[in-house]
Chain A
Amino acid sequence: KQEVTQIPAALSVPEGENLVLNCSFTDSAIYNLQWFRQDPGKGLTSLLLIQSSQREQTSGRLNASLDKSSGRSTLYIAASQPGDSATYLCAALNFGNEKLTFGTGTRLTIIP
């Protein structure tokens, strides 16, 4: 059974700094891994999706990497801004499975 872990549960960073959010998974036979952002009381916004054949994906100031052998994915945020404050969730989809397995998220606060 796939388990997805995100540590730390909360992170505070001064504005302008680069930062890395971590996501670990126990079963490396993943089809893809997806990163989401969730603002308080809102739905999830898809940020990046990495297929199992890819090593990374980029969108603007965001870069997500995937290392299946170590069971890790990272989300890199460059030049952080207060508007980046939110909870970030990762979710893994395994081969032969129709459902995502979610981590519990990292709550990010960017300090102005």
Chain B
Amino acid sequence: DGGITQSPKYLFRKEGQNVTLSCEQNLNHDAMYWYRQDPGQGLRLIYYSQIVNDFQKGDIAEGYSVSREKKESFPLTVTSAQKNPTAFYLCASSSWTGGDEQFFGPGTRLTVL
């Protein structure tokens, strides 16, 4: 089955720790995205990548970092610099940026203890 997987489903972090959220896709898509979702707010773009070894900041990149070493993988690290990291994180992919349909993974819920 083609699709996007995210792991873990739930993640707990102590203050001051960095954590990495996994996103893998087997759709052969070039573009991948990370969004953050908070109650009562629309999805906000953290980072996106148009191609391997390239990525761009979105609207709320501060306190986050990404890498794109393989086409199918786009991990997100939430660093200790992110002041309010508790949220639902969604990964998405599309054939290309700028116009194609986006497909989403099941999400990771991050809670800071």
Interfacial residues, chain A to chain B (CB-CB below 8 A):
4, 31-32, 34, 36, 41-46, 49, 89, 91, 93, 96-105
Q: Which A-chain residue is minimally distant from B33 (CB atoms)?
A: A99
Contact residues in B for A101 (Cβ distance below 8 Å):
42
Known: A99-B48, A102-B43, A104-B41. A43 touches B104 (CB 8 A): yes
Contact residues in A for B106 (Cβ distance below 8 Å):
42-43
Q: Can you spell out 30 A-B residue pairs with CB atoms less than 8 angstroms apart? A: A4-B42, A31-B98, A31-B99, A34-B102, A36-B104, A42-B106, A42-B107, A43-B105, A43-B106, A46-B102, A46-B104, A49-B101, A89-B42, A89-B43, A91-B43, A91-B102, A96-B98, A98-B31, A98-B48, A98-B50, A98-B56, A98-B98, A99-B48, A99-B58, A99-B59, A100-B43, A101-B42, A102-B43, A103-B42, A104-B41
Contact of A99 among B45, B88, B103, B105 (CB under 8 A): B45
Residue pair A43, B101 in contact (C-beta under 8 Å): no
Closest-CB distance, A34 to chain B (whole angstroms): 7
Q: Interface range on chain B: under 10, 10 to 19, 20 to 34, or 35 or more?
A: 20 to 34
Contact residues in A for B78 (Cβ distance below 8 Å):
none
Q: What 1/0 flags go to B37-70 for Cβ under 8 Å of A?
A: 0001111010010100000101100000000000
- With A96-B98, A98-B48, A102-B42 given, can you name 7 additional A-B contacts, CB distance below 8 Å? A34-B102, A43-B6, A43-B105, A46-B102, A97-B98, A99-B58, A104-B41
B109 on the interface (CB 8 Å rule)? yes
Known: A43-B107, A44-B90, A105-B42. A98 touches B97 (CB 8 A): yes
Closest-CB distance, B113 to chain A (whole angstroms): 19
Closest-CB distance, B96 to chain A (whole angstroms): 9
B71-85: which have CB < 8 Å to A?
A: none
Closest-CB distance, A83 to chain B (whole angstroms): 18
Contact of A32 among B50, B88, B99 (CB under 8 A): B99
In the bound complex, how far is the Cα of B89 from the Cα of A41, in angstroms? 11
In the bound complex, how far is the Cα of B99 from the Cα of A32, in angstroms? 7
